[in-house]
Amino acid sequence: MRLEPVADPGLGRSLGYPAAALGATVAFAMALALVAGADPFAVLGLMVKGAAGSKFALLETLNRATPLIFTGLAVAVAFRAKLWNIGAEAQLYAGAIVTVLLGTGALGLPWPLLLPVSALFAAVAGALVLLGPATLKLRFGVDEVVTTLLFNFIMLLFVSYLLEGPMKDPAGMGWPKSEKLIAEARLPRIMEGLRLHWGFLLALIAALGVWVVQTRTTLGYEMRAVGLNPEAARFAGLPVGRILIKTALLSGGLAALAGWSEVAGLKGSLTLDLSPGFGYAGIIVAMLALLNPLGVVVSALFVAGVFVGADSMSRAIGVPTYIADALTAAALLFMVLALLLARVRVRRG
């Protein structure tokens, strides 16, 4: 058995296999529901209702999608240039730390500057976190998969130290959390009385901005060239190292904005459980979107809907919420397989 590339996949293969992947994902979800002893149609119906069946549910899905868009963009940017950033979680927390440091009013910044300055410095912090592994890769050939992954654990331990020490809220009754941001450092709500904040719109703007960079600028062309073949790019005279550094700074900054939006827009303070895995989920979001920045928005809404819907469904019929993790993982695997089969043909012999 061997794989042969298909010169012209055609519309049927290009759309048929991904559509089959979506169907396989739904079938897998129904199988999981049967294993859990529940009616699969009821499980799927409750998940859809929990994610988009009411105004509150829809806004919660948009809220959950906001950090996923930022981390999905961060991964998409890095992976496009073959820089394997697995450390979006660490960059997210770096952005959150800086947001708290600036947003509690300790530095006395005037209120009109608080939000833009905190966003800027949060992005810088995330960029610097990824700059280290990128530099190690370029100077010493250290695998960035290992270094970025390890940075996630280092950052969590560092945050734990901060919340038990220098940044611990003295009025927090012993709980490991930071002081709350002052009102001027908080992102306003899009709709009064609801939790959806302006971070969601900023995430959409970021997705559009990244799309413009990747498709309409020299840097985007260079990133794609390096990702397709770094040796050919170097032979053509492109500064591969400099391009990877720029990619790392952009990717780390985008991931940090996820932490900034969660603290400034939703939570108001830093806790160790600020992120339930947004950095890792960003990998799934980016891959489902085929690394397309505009597609990241759609896949982030899908992944957010799965998790919000699973929470609601679990409360209604008692099926574990872990079905959401299995479902998103299956969706990624089926989609990767579908894209492979769309481009190659399996031959026997």
What is the tens place of the pLDDT at every residue in 155-186? 999 999 999 999 998 887 888 999 999 988 99
pTM: 0.93
Mapping DSSP onto H, E and C, the string for the chain reads CEEEECCCCHHHHHHHHHHHHHHHHHHHHHHHHHHCCCCHHHHHHHHHHHHHCCHHHHHHHHHHHHHHHHHHHHHHHHHHCCCCCCCHHHHHHHHHHHHHHHHCCCCCCCHHHHHHHHHHHHHHHHHHHHHHHHHHHHHHCCCHHHHHHHHHHHHHHHHHHHHHCCCCCCCCCCCCECCCCCHHHCCCECCCCCCCECHHHHHHHHHHHHHHHHHHCHHHHHHHHHHHCHHHHHHCCCCHHHHHHHHHHHHHHHHHHHHHHHHHHHHCCCECCCCCCHHHHHHHHHHHCCCCHHHHHHHHHHHHHHHHHHHHHHHHHCCCCHHHHHHHHHHHHHHHHHHHHHHEEEECC
Tens-binned pLDDT, residue by residue, of the chain (349 aa): 677 777 777 777 777 888 888 889 889 988 988 888 888 888 889 889 998 888 888 999 999 999 999 999 999 999 999 999 999 999 999 999 999 999 987 677 777 888 999 999 999 999 999 999 999 999 999 999 999 999 999 999 999 999 999 999 888 788 899 999 998 899 999 877 778 999 999 999 999 999 999 999 999 999 999 999 999 999 999 999 999 999 999 999 999 999 999 999 999 999 999 999 999 999 999 988 989 999 999 999 999 999 999 888 888 887 787 888 888 888 888 888 888 888 887 777 6
